[in-house]
Structure 1
């Protein structure tokens, strides 16, 4: 299953891309489940980001590995791939892409995930969409 969200902002794509750090990561965290950041190396290949998802009943580990980072004349991106995922996820691939446009840039969250079940993928799609849609106002507040 894939989700592709786009957010238009006013800052230059390189400035936006360079701001993807631990501080922005914390601001982008959804209100639920609560995230406890255990490790944040950065967004270079080989870096690891590890969180504990706290549901109030049970906690789950989520560990992602940064597998790619590229900057071109018109775009910049990095990819995080899930290594340890909370149930029911079996695969996680998130491309954080920032592209230049005439008024600033566009932030793309391109998420590919699977639970191993097409029915379950469809059932959690609205939740995933809602969680990542919450990033849009944060991006607009920070980047104009």
Structure 2
């Protein structure tokens, strides 16, 4: 299943892309489940990001490997690929793309995920849209509204 969320912001695409650091990662964390950051190497291929999702009842590890990164004259992106995922996820691929948009930029969260069961993927879709949709006001606050 794939979702693609877009947020237009006022800053230049390279400024936005270069701001994808640990501080922004922490700001983008959803209110639930609570994230405990265990490791944040960065966004270069080979870097690892590891968190513990704390539900209050049980904790789950989520480890992602940065597998690709590219910067061109019109866009920049990096991809995090899930290595250790919380149930029910079996596949996670998140492309963090920032494209040029006049003097500003568009931040794209392009997420492909799978639980291995199409019906469950469909049930999770609204939750994924909600969780990642919560990033939009944060992006606009940090990078400026268009």
TM range (shorter): over 0.9
SS in structure 2 of the partner of residue 56 of structure 1: coil
Q: Which runs of 5 or more residues in structure 2 are unaligned? A: none
Q: Hey, what's the Cα distance between the residues in 2 that align with 1:51 and 1:43? A: 15
The yes-or-no answer on 1:88 pairing with 2:64 is no
**Matched residue, 1:24:** 24
The yes-or-no answer on 1:105 pairing with 2:96 is no
SS in structure 1 of the partner of residue 82 of structure 2: strand
SS in structure 2 of the partner of residue 60 of structure 1: strand
SS in structure 1 of the partner of residue 98 of structure 2: strand
Alignment TM-score, normalising by the size of structure 1? 0.99
Q: Which runs of 5 or more residues in structure 1 are unaligned? A: none
Q: Hey, what's the Cα distance between the residues in 2 that align with 1:13 and 1:27? A: 19
Instruction: Give the length in aligned residue pairs.
Output: 144
- Please state how far the C-alpha of 1:102 moved relative to its aligned partner: 1.3
**Matched residue, 2:66:** 66
Q: Hey, what's the Cα distance between the residues in 1 that align with 2:17 and 2:103? A: 16
- Please state how far the C-alpha of 1:103 moved relative to its aligned partner: 3.8
Deviations 1:69-113 (CA, angstroms, capped at 9, x unpaired) = 100000000000000000000000000000001140000000000
Task: Give the 4+ runs in structure 1 shifted more than 4 A.
Answer: none
**Matched residue, 1:48:** 48
SS in structure 2 of the partner of residue 119 of structure 1: helix
Q: Hey, what's the Cα distance between the residues in 2 that align with 1:110 and 1:39? A: 23
Q: Hey, what's the Cα distance between the residues in 2 that align with 1:11 and 1:105? A: 6
